[in-house]
Amino acid sequence: MSLVTVEKKNHILLIGLNRPEKMNAMNREMYHQIAAAYYQLENDPELRVGLMHAEGDHFTSGLQLDDWAGVFANGKGIEPGEGELDPFHITGQGLSKPVVFAAQGICFTCGVEMMLNSDVRVAAKGTRFAQLEVKRGIFACGGATIRLQREIGWGNAQRYLLTGDEWNAEQAYQWGLIQELVEPGEQFAVALEIAEKIAKAAPLGVQGSLKSSKIAVSEGQEVAKQRLFPDLQPVMASDDVKEGIQSFLERREAVFKGK
**133, 170, 180, 222: the active-site residue:** 133
Please give the pLDDT value at position 22: 95
CA angle 35, 147, 13 (to 5 degrees): 30
Measured CA to CA, the distance from residue 134 to residue 153 in angstroms comes to 20
Which pLDDT score, from 0 to 100, does residue 141 have?
A: 86
DSSP string, the chain: --SEEEEEETTEEEEEE--GGGTT-B-HHHHHHHHHHHHHHHH-TT--EEEEEESSS-SB--B-HHHHHHHHTTSS-----TT---TT-SSSPPPSS-EEEEE-SEEETHHHHHHHTSSEEEEETT-EEE--GGGTTS---SSHHHHHHHHH-HHHHHHHHTT--EEEHHHHHHHTS-SEEE-TT-HHHHHHHHHHHHHHS-HHHHHHHHHHHHHHHHH-HHHHHHHHHHHHHHHHTSHHHHHHHHHHHTTS-------
The per-residue pLDDT for range 133-178, each reduced to its tens digit, is 999 888 988 999 999 999 999 999 999 999 999 999 999 999 999 9
Weakly modelled stretches of the chain, pLDDT under 70: 1
- Main-chain dihedrals φ then ψ at residue 252, nearest 5 degrees: -135, 165
Whether 21 is a known active-site residue: answer no
Radius of gyration of the chain (CA): 19
CA atoms within 13 A on the CB side of 20: 10
pLDDT recorded at residue 80 = 87
> What pTM was estimated for this model as a whole?
0.94
Q: Which domains does the chain carry? A: 4-200 (3.90.226.10), 203-250 (1.10.12.10)
Annotated catalytic residue: which of 79, 84, 113, 196?
113
50 within 8 A of 13, measured Cβ to Cβ: yes
Any catalytic annotation for residue 133? yes
